[in-house]
Amino acid sequence: MKARVWPFIGAVAVLALLIALPDILRPYYVGLATRMLIFALFAMSLDLLLGYAGLASLGHAAYFGVAAYTIALLVLRAGVDSGIAFPAALVAAAIIGALFAPLALRARGSYFLMITFALAQVVWSVAFGWRSLTNGDDGMPGVTRPYFGWSLDNTTSFYYFALAVIGIAALLLFAIVKSPFGRALRGIRESESRMQALGYNVWRHQYAAFVLSAFFAGIAGALYAYFNRFVGPEYLYVVQSAEALIMVILGGAGTLLGPAIGAALIVFLEDFVSSLTEHWVLVLGVIYVLVTLFAPRGLIGLYVDFRQRRALK
Amino acid sequence: MRLVVDIERLAVTVSQAIFDNRAKATVCDASMRSPKSRGIHKGNAMTTRKTILCDAADARIGVTLPGKQLARRGALRAVAIAGVAALLLGAAPFAARAAGPIKIGVLLPLSGNFAVLGQQALTGMKIYLDQVGNKAGDNPIELLVEDSQGKPDVAVTKARKLVQGEGAQVLTGVVSSGVALATNDYSRDNKVPLVLSADAGVTELTMPGPLANPYLVRTSQNGRAVGAVGADWAYKKGWRKVVTIGSDYAGGLDVDYAFGQEFCSLGGRVVQAEWSPIGTADFGPYLTNIDRTADAVIAFAPGADGLRLARQYSDFGLKGKLPVLDLFGTLVYEPNLPQLGDATLGMYSVLFYTPMLKTPENQSFVAEFKKRMHFMPANEGPNGYVGAEAIVDAVKAVNGDLSDTMKFMAALRAVKFDSPKGPISLDKYGQVIQPMYIRETEKVDGQTANVPIATYKSVDQFWPYTEAEYASFKYTYKDAKNAMTDCTRLLAKK
């Protein structure tokens, strides 16, 4: 009984802290917190694929970027209202996921990784090369934020908007991984053939996970476009995909909390360390190596180990 | 270079992904071993579907009702406490901008592809500030340096950090055009003065139009003026048919298009336009394709591409047969000259600077720059220097009082001084008016150097057109790929 109450109290405390954040922190750090939240969602969406379905994708930036570009294109090129562009962006991300999945799911392991990588690079090169539409490498500045009866133009109001959207998305993700579907995914991760033998349609489960994962990455991408009011091909680039993978692995794949923590930590460290030294990439590299050596299951794995050791005493 | 980095990253990720599979297996084993989950596995028949999932222990989280109610009550209480705390904290005043040093926020790429350029610009800024004792009149100057990584989204975050977090009153630096566009938006939305001083050549930034920003000045250059001056000189040199090779990105299109437009309006013609992707390792195919009946090759290939193109141009035996005009000095880039040996001898280039200028401002700058960086300055060093000088002059003009931003902007746009680049002033849109130099690569004291052979005294952003004439053209550089060899299109009016 007691053991079950603590996580709830923890969750509530974190939520309260998140809600009170703009009053505690200076505006810049509220902006940073918004970025952390957005990347937390992005990492969680990837984890649905990597941690639960066991499919390591190196093309996750595609869905993130496609959603961001959909918003920028609809708002800046078609003059659509920024709020209406939001659902359109999510649909676009999911469609790209639905199109890529049949191609990528033909392979497993590092081949899956390479195919998702290649597909994402195709999207990147379209954004980079189709200058008349996307402005190429200059990117598209001037994306407006949606207006739902109140302005999201200041840092605090946008933070609450992002918090609400990401909160709902995270709850949905939790519901998905706790559902029979989520359990089946984990089963597939451990043994595809066994799940097949038990009568599960493995391919269909993986396909659904792929599309869902793209959909949630799309939410993060759309929010990021609003947040920066700018969209550029970097959003689609392999570096973005790889960073998401590192976030998931650093935090601990196979849990939703882990990648969220990993994402927040990496966003924070990049910001913090890069202000202290020009050689921040080196510092981050050392941190990755240390985590890999001493916490091979990610930061969340450290915590799980710690609890188990205490339970055994 | 970029590709190599990507492949390295890829390799790392692949190995991590493989490693991760192993990690997951361990998670599974651990939960299987844990006493609680073992209980569950024993309790249920192994034949049910769920038991094959090692995480089945989680199934117990069908929480009982009292627990849920308790949690909800706890949640309400915590939210209430948080709300009160928020109200109390909200009333607390935030640290106001204290009077003290003038804080200049510097956004430069100090890691990644553009790091070399960022370092040079930063050195230029520091040389000037050290020269004036880090003071603008009586006001001490503080540089706050942030690494933009050459990524627009990072740059905007860093801009926010500098301005909102650390109280920077002016932003400066910026190399890549994507970063310039994103930072321009930030500056306009937040009314923060932005001094582009390290390249950021997007031509439209300082022209009337959707990007126009009253809080912006640019002391580096724009893409088109260098191209247009190059065309004028090329025509005067007697060339009529030329081939262009340009890097395939916004900057390359901008520069080459300006060249083509001006060359056509004088009566010349681009007979062949080649576009090489950024990071081209082998220029062989482009060089073999070149129309040998042309009068000259017009090249623009910044970064390592310029180094490779210069070397291969000589290796292919084109040197001495087809003269080269290098827009922006990308092949004859000063830091690269020592490793290129004689390959660049006789190449022409056009830029707003050359370290060979015999002015007191430049000679002392070059000496100091060489001491700090151990190579000759190219464009970014003097650009950073000039940006810092413009800011300091403007701060002095408003007596260190930056509270009236528009007044400060007016002071910035009014600056006028002799710099290492030559005499500098700004137009009403905040774009620099400066000399342009045609340079020829020669041996000076046993070392190749870009010696000025012609000077265009004051070149503004619309040169040689008036603003109205320039605005009457129908197409822009975004159309370059369809228009380069087609004079009617290049010169089409609205």
Q: Does domain B102-221+377-430 have CATH number 1.10.357.10?
A: no
Strand B216-218 and strand A230-231: the pairing is unpaired
Band of residue A2 on the pLDDT scale cut at 50, 70, 90:
low
Q: Which residue has the tokens 């000189």?
A: B233
Give the span between the Cα atoms of B318 and B462, in whole angstroms: 34
Subunit contact B85:A136, Cβ cutoff 8 A: no
Give mean pLDDT, residues B296-314: 93
Out of B78, B90, B152, whose CB is closest to A16?
Answer: B78
pLDDT of B48: 38
Q: Residue B9 in contact with residue A242, Cβ under 8 Å?
A: yes
A-contacting residues in B 369-388 (Cβ below 8 Å): none
How far is the alpha carbon of A86 from chain B, nearest alpha carbon, in Å?
Answer: 20
Mean pLDDT of A37-64: 93
Give the span between the Cα atoms of B372 and B147, in whole angstroms: 20
Quick check: helix, strand or coil at residue A230? Answer: strand
Q: What is the mean pLDDT of residues B464-493?
A: 90
Is B250 at the interface with chain A, CB within 8 A?
Answer: yes
Give me the pLDDT at residue B68, please: 42
Query: Which residue spans within A6-99 are E strands per DSSP?
Result: none
Which ipTM score applies to this complex? 0.74
Do residues B178 and B152 lie in contact, with contact meaning Cβ atoms separated by under 8 Å?
yes
Could you tell me whether strands B139-147 and B135-136 are parallel, antiparallel, or unpaired per DSSP bridges? antiparallel
Q: What mean pLDDT do residues B451-456 have?
A: 96
Query: Which residue of chain A comes nearest to B65, CA vs CA?
Result: A1
Q: Which residue has the higher pLDDT, B19 or A119?
A: A119
State the pLDDT confidence band at A307, using cuts at 50, 70 and 90: confident
* pLDDT of the residue at B146: 92
Q: Is the pLDDT of residue A8 over 70?
A: yes
In total, chain B counts a number of residues equal to 494
- Which residues of chain A make contact with B51, given a CB cutoff of 8 A? none
Of A58-67, A250-259, B359-368, which range is least confident? Answer: A250-259
* Predicted pLDDT at A291: 85
User: Does A60 contact B at CB distance below 8 Å?
Assistant: no
Packing angle, helices A27-47 and A155-178, rounded to 10: 20
pLDDT (average), residues B270-287: 92
pLDDT tens for each residue of A69-95? 999 999 999 999 999 999 999 999 999
Cα–Cα distance, B430 to B216 (Å, whole number)? 6
A117 and B CB contact within 8 Å: yes
CB contact under 8 A, B13 and A246: yes
Report, as an integer, the average pLDDT of B272-299.
93
- Say if residue B403's pLDDT is above 60: yes
Q: Alpha carbon B328 to chain centroid distance?
A: 15
B149 vs A4: which has the higher pLDDT:
B149
In 3D space, the residue among B395, B410, B387, B404 whose CA is nearest the CA of residue B136 turns out to be: B395
> Please, which pLDDT band fits residue A303 given cuts at 50, 70 and 90?
confident
**CA proximity to A267, closest of A247, A249, A241:** A247
Rounded to the nearest angstrom, the gap between the alpha carbon of residue B280 and the centroid of all alpha carbons in its chain is: 19
Do residues B436 and B459 touch, judged by C-beta distance below 8 A? yes
Q: How confident is the model at residue B137 (pLDDT cuts 50, 70, 90)?
A: confident
Residues 6+ apart with CB under 8 A from A210: A49, A53, A55, A97, A98, A100, A101, A104, A105
- pLDDT tops 70 at residue B60: no
For chain B, what is the HEC assignment? CHHHHHHHHHHHHHHHHHHHHHHHHHHHHHHHHCHHHHHHHHHCCCCCCHHHCHHHHHHHHCCCHHHHHHHHHHHHHHHHHHHHHHHHHHHCCCCCCCCCCEEEEEEECCCCCCHHHHHHHHHHHHHHHHHCCCEECCEEEEEEEEECCCCHHHHHHHHHHHHHHCCCCEEEECCCHHHHHHHHHHHHHHCCCEEECCCCCCHHHHCCCCCCCCCEEECCCCHHHHHHHHHHHHHHCCCCEEEEEEECCHHHHHHHHHHHHHHHHHCCEEEEEEEECCCCCCCHHHHHHCCCCCCEEEEECCCHHHHHHHHHHHHCCCCCCCCEEEECCCCCCHHHHHHHHHHHCCCEEEECCCCCCCCHHHHHHHHHHHHHHCCCCCCHHHHHHHHHHHHHHHHHHCCCCCCCHHHHHHHHHCCEEEECCEEEEECCCCEEEEEEEEEEEEEECCEEEEEEEEEEEEECCCCCCCHHHHHCECCCHHHHHHHCCCHHHHCCEC
Whether B11 contacts chain A with CB within 8 A: no
Instruction: Kindly determine whether residue A230 and residue B156, on different chains, have CB atoms separated by under 8 Å.
Output: yes
Amino acid at residue number A27 = P
**Strand, coil or helix: what is A179?**
coil
Q: In chain A, what is the greatest distance between 2 CA atoms, to the nearest angstrom?
A: 66
Q: Does A238 touch chain B (CB under 8 A)?
A: yes
Q: Between B49, B75, B147, which is nearest A12 by CB?
A: B75
Tell me how far apart the alpha carbons of residues A24 and A18 are, in angstroms, rounded to a whole number.
10
Phi, psi of A191 (to 5 degrees): -160, 105
Chain B residues with CB under 8 Å of A132 CB are 478-479
* pLDDT reported for residue B99: 56
Place of tokens 């966003």: A267
B6 has pLDDT over 50? no
Is the CB of A142 less than 8 angstroms away from the CB of B185? yes
Other CB atoms within 10 A of residue B494 CB: 7
Amino acid at site B1: M
Contact flag B160-A186 (C-beta cutoff 8 Å)? no
> How large is the average pLDDT for residues A172-192?
93
Domains B102-221+377-430 and B224-351+435-490 in one fold:
yes
Structure tokens at A165: 């959207």
Q: How far is CA B144 from the centre of its chain?
A: 18
pLDDT for res B228: 96
Across the interface, whether the CB atoms of A253 and B24 are under 8 A apart is answered yes
Mean pLDDT of chain B: 82
pLDDT of residue B59: 34
End-to-end CA separation in angstroms for chain B: 42
Q: Which residues of B touch A9 (CB under 8 A)?
A: 71, 74, 78
Phi, psi angles (nearest 5°) of residue B282:
-130, 115
What are the beta bridge partners of residue B217?
A: B195
- In angstroms, the separation between the Cα of residue B117 and the nearest Cα of chain A is 14
For residue range B417-432, what is the model confidence (pLDDT) as tens digits?
999 999 999 999 999 9
Q: For chain A, what percent of residues have pLDDT higher than 90?
A: 55
Radius of gyration of chain B (CA): 29
Minimal Cα–Cα distance from B61 to chain A, Å? 9
- Taking one residue from A and the other from B, the number of pairs with CB-CB distance under 8 angstroms is 214
User: Which residue of B9, B86, B182 is in closest CB contact with A228?
Assistant: B182
Q: How far is A12 from chain B (nearest CA, A)?
A: 5
Q: Lowest-pLDDT range, A7-16, A23-32, A272-281, B9-18?
A: B9-18
Does the pLDDT at position B20 exceed 50? no
Chain A residues inside the 8 Å CB shell of B211: 141
Asked whether B39 and A135 are in contact (CB, 8 A), the reply is no
What's residue B104's pLDDT?
A: 95
- Specify the pLDDT at position A3: 61
Instruction: Read off the pLDDT band of B42 (50, 70, 90).
Output: very low
Grouping H, G, I as helix, E, B as strand and the rest as coil, residue A2 is helix
Encode pLDDT of A210-237 as tens digits. Answer: 999 999 999 999 999 999 889 999 999 9
Asked if A221 contacts A67 with a C-beta cutoff of 8 angstroms, the reply is yes
- Is it true that domain B224-351+435-490 has CATH number 1.10.443.10? no
pLDDT at residue number B37: 39
For chain B, domain boundaries:
23-58, 102-221+377-430, 224-351+435-490
Tell me which residue of A8, A47, A304, A212 sits closest to B57, measured CA to CA. Answer: A304
Q: pLDDT, tens digit, for every residue of B95-117?
A: 334 458 999 999 999 887 788 89
Q: Given CB atoms, is B459 within the 8 Å cutoff of chain A?
A: no
The pLDDT assigned to B34 comes to 39
Sequence-distant (≥ 6) Cβ neighbours of residue B325 within 8 angstroms: B230, B233, B234, B242, B296, B297, B298, B299, B347, B348, B349, B350
pLDDT at B480: 85
Mean pLDDT of A27-40: 91
B464 preceded by a cis bond (ω within 30 of 0): yes
B9/A238 Cβ within 8 A: yes
CB B223 within 8 A of CB B256: no
Which backbone phi and psi does A140 adopt, to 5 degrees?
-120, 100
- Tell me the chain A residues in contact with residue B21 when contact means C-beta distances shorter than 8 Å: 54, 56, 109
Out of A12, A304, A311, the one facing B74 most closely (by C-beta) is A12
Can you list the domains of chain A with their CATH numbers?
2-312 (1.10.3470)
Over the stretch B198-250, which tens digit does the pLDDT of each residue have? 988 888 899 998 889 999 999 999 999 999 999 999 999 999 999 999 998 88
Reference B487, options B257, B332, B209, B224; nearest CA is B257
Chain B CB within 8 Å of residue A298 CB? yes
Asked whether B230 and B325 are in contact (CB, 8 A), the reply is yes
Residues 301-360 of B with CB under 8 A from A: none
Mean pLDDT of B401-420: 94
